[in-house]
Structure 1
Amino acid sequence: MRRDGLSAEEEQFIESMGLFFERQGVPRIGGRILGLLLLAEKPLALSEVARLLRVSPASVSTNVRQLQASGLVDPASIPGDRRHYYVFNSAGWDHRLEMAVTAMDALGQLCQDALAMPGLKERHKLREAVEFCGFYRQELAGAAKRWRARFARKPGGQTTPPPPSRRQRRSATR
């Protein structure tokens, strides 16, 4: 990333990220912010993100809050500087897997609760949905475990534990 702006390749990647995330239901600017933070080698101030993406600071602020809630962006600070900085949170991938597991648990429970109702207990599609949610949850849990194992490996045989998830960080501060 050049000091004065972005290269053509960086801009192309950032725009592609915006379009990709827009198809996933995230505002395009949110995807562009993620793309920029993936490329950034240092924390970026809100005003710097706005300047590089040529968007309003208010738009960046709104979208960064949503990205923080998803676990993919974390706040950062630079000693002596009062501005708000942001970084891409690599542990956010783990958080995304956790969110998917939680969603499958919730959907499975909704369908299970429906099956407990007298008028719905014989619905084949509800039973199938409960089975699918259980299956998918197991697959996601296995994928999360394999991801954590891969993330912990470093070249040269060194291993480091994966950064704690947001849930783990919250419970550690209690």
Structure 2
Amino acid sequence: MRQDGVSAEEERFIESMGLFFERQGVPRIGGRILGLLLLADKPLALGELAELLRVSPASVSTNIRQLQAGGLVDPTSIPGDRRHYYVFNSAGWDHRLKVAISTMDVLGQLCQDALGQPGLKGRNKLREAVEFCDFYRQELTGAAERWRARFARKPGTQAPSPSPSPSARQRRNATR
């Protein structure tokens, strides 16, 4: 990134990130912030983010909080500077996998609970949904383990901690 702003190529990437994340249900400015932080060589202050993206600091502040909650952005500081700085959190990819796994757990449990209701007991589509959630969770868990192993091998990175939570099937079997 240039000292005086972003290049045309960087701006195209930042905009494409905004559009991509907008299609995923994230405000476009959130995707643009992620795009900029992926390109940044140093932590960026809230005001710098707003200036480089040509948006209001309030908009950056609102979206930064959402990105922090999603695990993709971390706050940081620079000694002697009172401003809040932000960086892209590489461990955020692992967080995204954990969220997807948790989502499958919740959906699978909702469908499993529904199957326990007398009026819904034999519904094949519910059973299929439970099986899909178990399958997808196992695939995501394997992908998360492979990602952690790959990420740990890269110089200067620290592997994210694995999620020790039991699978939905293990929890259901434990309650039977």
TM-score under structure 2 normalisation?
0.89
**What residue is the counterpart of 1:123 in the other structure?**
123
User: Structure 2 unaligned runs (5+)?
Assistant: 165-176
How far did residue 2 of structure 1 move? 1.0
Q: Deviations over 1:35-88 (max 9, x none)?
A: 000000100000000000000000000000000000000001000100010000
Residue equivalent to 1:6: 6
Q: State the partner residue of 2:19.
A: 19
Secondary structure of the 2:60 match is helix
Distance 1:7 1:85 in 2: 22
* 1:77 partner SS: strand
Cα-Cα RMSD: 1.7
Correspondence for 2:102? 102
- Whichever residue aligns with residue 159 of structure 2, its letter is P
Q: CA–CA distance in 2 between the matches of 1:40 and 1:11?
A: 12
Structure 1, residues 91-133: CA drift from partner, whole Å, max 9, x if none?
A: 0000000000000000000000000000001110000000000
| Cα separation, partners in 2 of 1:63 and 1:160, compared to 1, 3 Å | closer
What CA distance in whole angstroms lies between the structure 2 residues aligned with 1:136 and 1:163? 21
For the residue of structure 1 that corresponds to 2:149, the secondary structure is: helix
Alpha-carbon deviation of 1:160? 5.9
Unaligned runs of 5+ in 1: 169-174
**2:159 maps to 1:162:** yes
Displacement of 1:4: 1.0
Residue 33 of structure 2 is aligned to residue 47 of structure 1: no
> What is residue 80 of structure 1 aligned with on the other side?
80
Instruction: Report the Cα distance in structure 1 between the residues aligned to 2:78 and 2:46, rounded to whole angstroms.
Output: 13
Paired residues for 1:61-72 under 5 Å: 61-72=61-72
Is the contact between residue 91 and residue 163 of structure 1 (CA under 8 Å) also seen in structure 2? yes
Instruction: State the 1:3 CA deviation.
Output: 1.1
Q: Distance in 2 between matches of 1:13 and 1:75?
A: 23
Residue 172 of structure 1 aligns with which residue?
Answer: none
Contact 1:91 1:164 in 2 (8 A): no
What is the CA distance between 1:163 and its match in structure 2? 4.1
Residue aligning to 2:168: none
How far residue 164 of structure 1 moved from its aligned partner, in angstroms, is 4.5
Runs of 4+ in 1 over 2 A off after TM superposition: none
Once residues 164 and 140 of structure 1 are traced to their aligned partners in structure 2, the CA distance between those partners, rounded to angstroms, is 15
Q: C-alpha displacement at 1:154, in angstroms?
A: 3.0
Q: How many residues are aligned here?
A: 164
Q: Secondary structure at the match of 1:49?
A: helix
TM-score, normalization: structure 1? 0.90
